[in-house]
Amino acid sequence: MLAAVFVSAMAVWLWRDPHAQVHAEFTRQRWAAGLSLDQVQVADHRWVYAVREADEPDAPTVVMIHGFTGSKENWYPLAAQLRGRYRLVIPDLPGWGATERIQGADYGFVAQGARVAEFIAQVASQPGSEVALLGHSMGGGIAALTAADHPQSVARLGLFDAAGVRFKDNQFGIDVLDGKNPFAVDDEASLKRYVDTVFHVESAKPFIPWPASRALIAWRRQQAPFEQSVLDRIGRSEERFLPGDAAARIQQPALLLWCKQDAVIDASAMQLFGEKMPQATQVLLDGCGHMSIMERPQDVAAAVQLLIKKGEPRSKGWGCCWVPCCCWLPAATVKPSSARPLLRKRPHRKLLPGPLRASMTLQ
């Protein structure tokens, strides 16, 4: 009898709030990462962000910027791997998630890059603690501009599957240039196509049961005009390659991380960014898609630790990163943690710390 009452109550709850299942899972992930929610008024927008203090007060602050159609929750699996080591600050970008959207405002690369700089200055920066800025997909393009235009605010930079360069043609890129939104969702079939496009690892794909799927589809239909306006700005306007251009001005230690099976931002983009950023460590993950931060959070966390512990700024004597020289760190391939490969030592580089050797080999 009690079981029947419980099931009935759950059914009514889900019927009244179809998003409840999704919100409950996000809350579980946030708690697992030790994050709490906060909000702040910055750059004419009310920002909502997740935050966790580091175990040590002078630890670096890691700011994480999500991508197109994404939100702060995309970073929770990585945050769970980094908790305690660093202060973590993970906002919803203006216009996205729970952060305010202003009708008619510009949400392109340049405008968002400036807003992120203001957010860092007001929320993330602390005396004696450097800021490492991580950006995924569209967030990577935004982060590149922030680091290039506001170097005093960003000590280290990580670009993951980042937008902003003319990568090798794939179906996603062709559709964007044709004026379409490849991420558009308006029914069950397009929802499945969207998930299959951004994820390569089957086990990492989110389970979206009914009625949550019905609510998500309805919500994405409502978002379609906004998504199209942003995609027009970052994918087809004069801004689309500004992040790649700005990369040549980035002096900070940097990390470029891609997945070999990325069907959104082709892995050829990593080389294009790398040609402008000779100081960047390049990490190519095999066996994952566009959502590296969700599909392979342990390996991404290892690469972030490498950036913070070992990353080096651009040297005045460095030219193109593809010219062999004693200071060049070759692209690295991170294999699944279960394979437990060892790092092959290069004579001109120091051996990486033990925890990183377990997941990374240099080519």
Name which of 158, 4, 172 is nearest 78 in CA terms. 158
| pLDDT digits 0-9 by tens, 21-30 | 778 889 999 9
Give 142-145 contacts, CB < 8 A, sequence gap 24+: 142/65, 142/93, 142/109, 142/112, 142/113, 142/116, 142/243, 143/65, 143/113, 143/116, 144/113, 144/243, 144/244, 144/246, 144/247, 144/250, 144/273, 145/109, 145/110, 145/113, 145/242, 145/243, 145/246
* pTM summary value: 0.85
| pLDDT digits 0-9 by tens, 38-59 | 999 999 999 999 999 999 999 9
Where b means 16+ CB within 10 Å and e means fewer, 155-179 reads bbbbbbbbbbbebeebebbebbeee
Domain residue spans of the chain: 17-313
Percent of the chain exceeding pLDDT 90 equals 76
| The pLDDT value given to residue 232 | 96
CATH number of this structure's domain 17-313, picked from the four choices 3.40.50.1820, 3.40.50.720, 3.30.70.270, 3.30.2390.10 = 3.40.50.1820
Amino acid at 265: I
